[in-house]
Structure 1
Amino acid sequence: MSESVPVRCPACRCERLYAVPAWPCACGTTVTLVLDGAAPPAVVVHRAWAEEWITLRCPRCARPAQWPRPELGCPCGTVLRLPVTEAAPVDADSGSPDTAPTARPALPRAGRPPHPPTIRTARDAVTATVLYLRSLGFRDIRRADQRPTAGIGLAAPGLLAQVDPSARPASLRDVECLWLTAMTESARCVYLSLAGYADDARAGADRLGVPLFVLDLTGTPRPVNPAAGTLDTDGA
C-alpha cells in the first residue's frame, strides 16, 4: 500500500489526503518520493513541460531518473504541486520505505506498473503512460519533439507514443499520422487513448501494426489489438 499524507490547500484551507505514488527504477527497485513536510505546496497557475518532472537518484543504484512531479487536485479547483526532498525504496511486503540495501529482481514485462494514478486529468494519463512504458523496459522517456494531431506525444529511444486523453475516440488520421512520424524517425510507435478508437482506426492500426491501448480510469492500459497484446507481453 502507498503512504497517504495530509496536505492543506492554501486556497480553501481544507486538508486532503495525498497517496504518494511509487515508480519503478531501471534497476528493478520500486521507489517512492519523500515529500518535504516543512515546505508548503505551491499553487499551479501556469504549466511548463520542464516543471512537470523532477530528477532524483535511485536510492539503491544511484541512477538519476525523471519522475512526474507530484500534484494534488483539491475539490475547490486548486491544483497543488507538492515539494519533494528525495526518493526512497519501498519494501514490497510492508509498503513502507526500506532501509536494507538488498538486491531486487527485475520487474516483469507484463505492463503492470506499481500504483498507477487514477485518471482525472490529462497529466494523470501521461503519468500512467510513462509508468507503463517504463515497466515495459523503455527508458529516457521525454516529451516528443513533434506535436501529434491529438493529445500529447512522448518519445523514448526507438519509440514514439501518443497519449490521447480527450473524450472522442481516436480517428484513423490520428493513427496514420503517428505511424508516419514514427516511420520518418525509424522508431516503433504506440497509441494510448482514454475514449477508445473509431472502427476504421482499429482496422488501420491492425494493417500498419500499430499497438492500440485504452487507458481505463484506474490508470491501467488495456491492449485492444494483437500488436498491443504482443507489446504488453514481450515488452521493449
Structure 2
Amino acid sequence: MKCAVLVFPGSNCDIDMYKAVEDCLGEPVEYVWHAESNLDEFDCILLPGGFSYGDYLRPGAMASMARVMASVKEAAAKGKLVMGVCNGFQVLTEAGLLQGALRRNQSLKFRCEMVDLRVENNDTVFTAEYAAGEIIQIPIAHGDGNYYCDETTLADMEQNNQIVFRYAGANPNGSIDNIAGIINKEGNVLGMMPHPERAVHEWLGSADGKRMFTSILQSWRDKNGVTQRA
C-alpha cells in the first residue's frame, strides 16, 4: 500500500503523519506537494493538520482549491482511501468530500490536550481494529474544531452510521452531538479533528491511534487480496 501525505503551505503535521505511516506500517509513503496533479500511484491519501494558507478566509478554504484536490476527488470517487486530520478534516469539508463545516471553538480558545473518544462505528476501513463503544485517548490541537451541520444532515448521518467518533468526556470545542470524526456515505473518506498520528507510541502518551493505521492497511490488503509479508 502506497501512501501520499499532502503538503500545503502552512501544513505542520505532515512529518508526524509520514512518521506514523513509516513507524506503524513500514509501507511506502511520500510527501506530495499541493501543486501536483496526479495521485494515481497512491492507494491511500492523507491530509495532515496545520494551518494551510494561514487559515485565511476560513481554515481549509484555500487548500480546498489547490491543484492537488482535483486528484483527491478523483481518487475518492474511485474508492481509494482518504483521511483528513484536523486541518485536513477542514479541507475535506470545504472541498465537499465530507458534509458539514468546522467553526471556531465555542470557547474561542485554541485547545491542545489529550481527550477521550468513543468509537461509534468500528465497521469502517479506518476503525476495524477497535471495538464498538471503545474509549480511546487521542490528542487534539485546534482552534476551529467545532463541527456543525444542520439537523437534516445530522439525522441523515446518524441513519447511515457516518458518525465514527464522538468526544466521550467534556466536549472541547462545542461540536454538535459531540462529533469528533465522520465518514462519507461510501465509507472511504474519513475526517476527524483529533490527531491519531500523534498517538502511535506509548511514550507519546497514548498508542491508541496506531490501530487506525493498521486498520487501514489490513482493510486495503483484504480488498486487494494481499497477504501479509513474512
TM-score, scaled relative to structure 2 = 0.31
TM-score, scaled relative to structure 1 = 0.30
- Identify, as 1 or 2, the structure richer in helix: 2
- Identify, as 1 or 2, the structure richer in strand: 1
- Higher relative contact order (Cα pairs below 8 Å, separated by 6+ residues): 2
